[in-house]
Amino acid sequence: MNTVSEKIMSIGVVPVIKLNNPERDAVDLAKALCAGGVPVAEVTFRAAGAAKAIKLMSDNVPEMLVGAGTVMTTAQVDEAIEAGAKFIVTPGLDEEIVRYCQSKDIVIYAGCTTPTDYHTAFRLGLDVLKFFPAEQSGGLSKIKAMSAPFPMFKVMPTGGISLKNLGEYISCPVIAACGGSYMVTADLIDNGKWDEITDLCKKSVDIVKEARNNG
């Protein structure tokens, strides 16, 4: 496992962030996440200012591990790398993007939810997969079932993860980390509720620690 994946696994949660106003919010948000013990972010390209947000976070809060999410094209991979992204996340498994990221020596977490996806990921040499949308695709029970024929993978489920089920997911040894937006909702970000974001991160870290200690 590479050092990026090891760091993400040590944290246990990855905030999935859509920033509408990166100039105003990116740096404050990064500081709030770090204060809560979650120095990592997946900034999604669903918002036009994603690359700007990645650059602002990376330049101003260097302890942050910042990646790009919802990456759909190789051009976006280039844009993310130029902005300082340390990892790429795709919603599905796109062989062209995977191979392109490998050629650029940047970590990629591709979205995989079926045996065909997993088998293709195996042939591509991946070792950590995004499982999206997690709850809607069968949740933890499906992840466990898929690990039987594919024990070589660690999984990062995203979609439907909250404080209520985070512990259940993290307690499973197959899970590397959980992605979630519950600690970085539009309401929290747009209204500058940085203390609440920090608090939600702290609660998430506590859940991860407890689940792993009891696992």
Tens of pLDDT, residue by residue over 166-186, are: 999 999 999 999 999 999 999
* Residue of 55, 86, 130, 154 marked catalytic: 130
Confidence at residue 214, expressed as pLDDT on a 0 to 100 scale: 85
* Residue of 18, 42, 55, 154 marked catalytic: 42
* Cis-peptide into 133, omega within 30 deg: yes
Give the residue from 69, 106, 74, 73 showing the smallest Cα distance to 90. Answer: 69
Decide if 210 is catalytic.
no
- Bridge partners, residue 17, by sequence: 43
**pLDDT tens, 101-135?**
999 999 999 999 999 999 999 999 999 999 999 99
Confidence at residue 199, expressed as pLDDT on a 0 to 100 scale: 98
Reported pTM: 0.96
Decide if 209 is catalytic.
no
**pLDDT tens, 52-67?**
999 999 999 999 999 9
Q: What residue ranges do the domains of the chain occupy?
A: 3-209
Superfamily for the 3-209 domain: Aldolase class I (3.20.20.70)
